[in-house]
Amino acid sequence: MITLPIYNTEGKEVGTIELNSAVFDGTVNKDAIYQAIVEYRANQRKGLASTKTRGEVSGGGRKPWRQKGTGRARVGSTRSPLWRHGGVVFGPHPRDFSYNLPQKIKSLALKSILNARIEEGKFIVLDELKLENAKTKEAEKIFFNLKIDSKKMKPRSVLFLSDKLSDKLRLALRNIEFLSLSFAKDTNAYEVTSSQKIIITKDGLSELTNRLINKKSLDC
């Protein structure tokens, strides 16, 4: 059973938590992670690229010249794909790239990337996150106490997962460049994979664990 320390907003260890071995068993399935990421990115594609065939391009109704006797190649329309301003052969048309993975693979992918982040030491459990004032400076102090160097972090490379987010907390956190916010019950494998560090509240970790054990809907 994996045991992790719990930190407060001052960066001090205030206790420990034993992770549920049904979820956090150290198993990392790279194939499942790969499939979940490919599916997520495919579902983000708009598929709006569009070209016109010779039948859709305007004009070209009259035959440019007679069939024989001119010495030139025979042609029936100025909108032939061989001509400038003509139609496109086998060009792209609007399509839907989305598809759904089996629920078990999504669940396995999320479990795997969480286990990988714990193994790498990039998983921090926070007791709770409360602010007296909706000030970004106050919020930044908390991450400084947790030894997160904002200068080394890429934009949106720290993922903060919580069970709830008050309006005051959102106002304080939204201007921190390296931070992205999400609910623990809604996170997915792509979101966790694209983050260098994961910070999760104790209650958020409980919700996430219950979600994976109960195999609820996983939008990876």
Interval 1-55: pLDDT, tens: 889 999 998 989 999 999 999 999 999 999 999 999 999 999 999 999 999 999 9
Nearest in space to 122 (alpha carbons), one of 17, 198, 180: 198
Q: What is the mean pLDDT of the chain?
A: 91
For a pLDDT cut of 90, what percent of the chain falls above it?
73
Q: Answer yes or no: are the C-beta atoms of 56 and 87 closer than 8 Å.
A: yes
What's the pLDDT score for residue 47? 94
What's the pLDDT score for residue 215? 64
Confidence of residue 134 (pLDDT cuts 50, 70, 90): confident
pLDDT surpassing 50 at residue 143: yes
What's the pLDDT score for residue 36? 96
pLDDT surpassing 50 at residue 99: yes
At 72, list the tokens. Answer: 């030139």
Query: How much is the pTM?
Result: 0.83
pLDDT surpassing 50 at residue 217: no
Q: How many CA atoms lie within 13 A of 183 on its CB side?
A: 10
Q: Answer yes or no: are the C-beta atoms of 122 and 196 closer than 8 Å.
A: yes
Confidence of residue 149 (pLDDT cuts 50, 70, 90): confident
Q: Answer yes or no: are the C-beta atoms of 165 and 45 closer than 8 Å.
A: no
Strand order through the sheet with 197-201: 13-18, 3-7, 123-126, 197-201, 158-162, 179-183
Mean pLDDT of 135-150: 88
Full DSSP string of 35-67: HHHHHHHHHH---------TTTSS---S-SS-S
Per residue in 169-205, pLDDT (tens digit) is 888 898 899 999 999 999 999 999 999 999 999 999 9
At 39, list the tokens. Answer: 């599916």
Distances (CA, A) of 218 to 31, 95, 184, 205: 17, 25, 11, 16
Q: Where in the chain does DSSP place strands (E)?
A: 3-7, 13-18, 123-126, 158-162, 179-183, 197-201
Mean pLDDT of 46-65: 93
